[in-house]
């Protein structure tokens, strides 16, 4: 006397597999929800700011004349703008990327403070498509000056 027919055994196994797949998907979605960083442009952050302390990214241009080193010597305050009316004040304590200058693109990772200032944990400076790293530029200049000369040998 068998307890479960083979047809029913397959049905139970398929049902358990589906439940396991759905549970894994829900668990993954929950984990990604808590880890996801949302990207905001300055006008989006001004219109619908994220809740205070939520990890987000802010992208835009560093406003001209806005970079200010604070008295502690480590913290920098600046404004990120979208070249329109939206301006978001940012504060960052750490080493600035080499490409971080006024009127250049920047992505700041951090959170919005209760005072409305975006506190950045990390800065990513963006560059245009014509950018060549300083090391490669120096190498190209050096090779151009002392590189082998191209010669044409003719045969008669």
Structural contact between residues 102 and 63, judged by C-beta atoms closer than 8 angstroms = yes
Q: Is the pTM of this model over 0.75?
A: no
- If you classify domain 38-125 with CATH, what class do you get? mainly beta
User: Is 83 within 8 Å of 61 (Cβ atoms)?
Assistant: yes
The rounded distance, in Å, linking the Cα atoms of 60 and 39 is 11
Q: Where are the domains of the chain?
A: 38-125
Cβ-based burial of 88 (10 A; exposed 0-12, middle 13-18, buried ≥19)? buried
Highest mean pLDDT among 31-35, 86-90, 132-136, 141-145: 86-90
* Residue 141: pLDDT band with limits 50, 70, 90: low
């Amino acid at each position: 006397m068998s307890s479960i027919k083979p047809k029913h055994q397959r049905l139970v196994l398929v049902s358990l597999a589906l439940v396991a797949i759905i549970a894994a998907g829900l668990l993954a979605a929950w984990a990604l929800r808590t880890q996801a960083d949302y990207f905001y442009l300055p006008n989006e952050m001004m219109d619908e700011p994220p809740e205070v302390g939520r990890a987000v990214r802010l992208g835009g241009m560093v406003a001209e004349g806005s970079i200010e080193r604070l008295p502690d010597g480590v913290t920098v305050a600046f404004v990120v703008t979208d070249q329109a009316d939206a301006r978001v004040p940012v504060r960052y304590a750490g080493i600035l990327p080499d490409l971080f200058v006024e009127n250049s693109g920047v992505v700041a990772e951090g959170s919005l403070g209760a005072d409305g200032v975006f506190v950045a944990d990390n800065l990513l400076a963006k560059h245009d498509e014509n950018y060549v790293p300083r090391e490669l530029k120096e190498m190209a200049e050096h090779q151009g000056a002392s590189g082998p000369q191209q010669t044409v040998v003719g045969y008669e």
